């Protein structure tokens, strides 16, 4: 299997390069049917881990979901709220819905069984530990005779 960098997967394609910025999902969310925003993400790498940090302020951690399917890690959120009031002969009913879904390719050198996550101050942190045997690999140049 080929090595892949940990990058967000592509969720849509623009119909025209000329108009792609004008009709971008974030520019016209009502026209595109998206009433949610995509959380910002930082991707870090060090010797032992890949780390994803998603900015998801105001979201309860019980409403966040992290799934791993083969080599794709998906982080999603969905919330539905409904409020109904009957007061002084007036009736008011309001509802709201918000969601997002971000997917990332997981590199081959990640130990999927040890992936962990934490949530603090509106930041979801997902740690993807690298396999131990990757560190022990020797790198060298082969001379051609």
* Tokens coding 135: 């560190």
Flag whether pLDDT at 12 surpasses 70.
Answer: no
Specify the residue for token string 């918000």: 98
Flag whether pLDDT at 62 surpasses 80.
Answer: yes
What per-residue confidence (pLDDT) applies to 32? 42
Do residues 112 and 90 touch, judged by C-beta distance below 8 A?
A: no
What per-residue confidence (pLDDT) applies to 26? 45
Mean pLDDT score across all residues of the chain: 77
Do residues 80 and 95 touch, judged by C-beta distance below 8 A?
A: yes
Flag whether pLDDT at 142 surpasses 80.
Answer: no
What per-residue confidence (pLDDT) applies to 68? 93
DSSP 8-state assignment for residue 130:
B
Considering only CA atoms, which of 57, 96, 53 is closest in space to residue 75?
53
Average of per-residue pLDDT across 71-87: 89
All domains of the chain in start order, with CATH: 40-131 (2.60.40.790)
pLDDT, tens digit, 9 for 90 and up, residues 82-123:
888 888 888 888 888 888 999 999 998 999 999 999 999 999
Do residues 58 and 37 touch, judged by C-beta distance below 8 A?
A: no
């Amino acid at each position: 299997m080929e090595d892949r960098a940990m990058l967000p997967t592509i969720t849509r394609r623009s119909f025209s390069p000329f108009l792609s910025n004008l009709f971008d999902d974030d520019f016209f969310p009502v026209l595109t049917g998206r009433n949610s925003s995509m959380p910002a993400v930082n991707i870090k790498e060090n010797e032992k881990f890949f780390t994803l940090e998603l900015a998801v302020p105001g979201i309860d951690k019980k409403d966040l979901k992290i799934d791993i399917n083969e080599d794709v890690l998906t982080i999603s959120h969905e919330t539905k709220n409904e409020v109904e009031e009957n007061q002084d002969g007036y009736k008011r009913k309001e509802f709201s819905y918000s969601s997002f879904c971000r997917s990332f390719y997981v590199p081959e050198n990640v130990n999927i069984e040890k992936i962990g996550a934490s949530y603090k101050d509106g930041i979801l942190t997902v740690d993807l530990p690298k396999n131990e045997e990757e560190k022990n690999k020797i790198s060298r140049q082969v001379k051609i005779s």
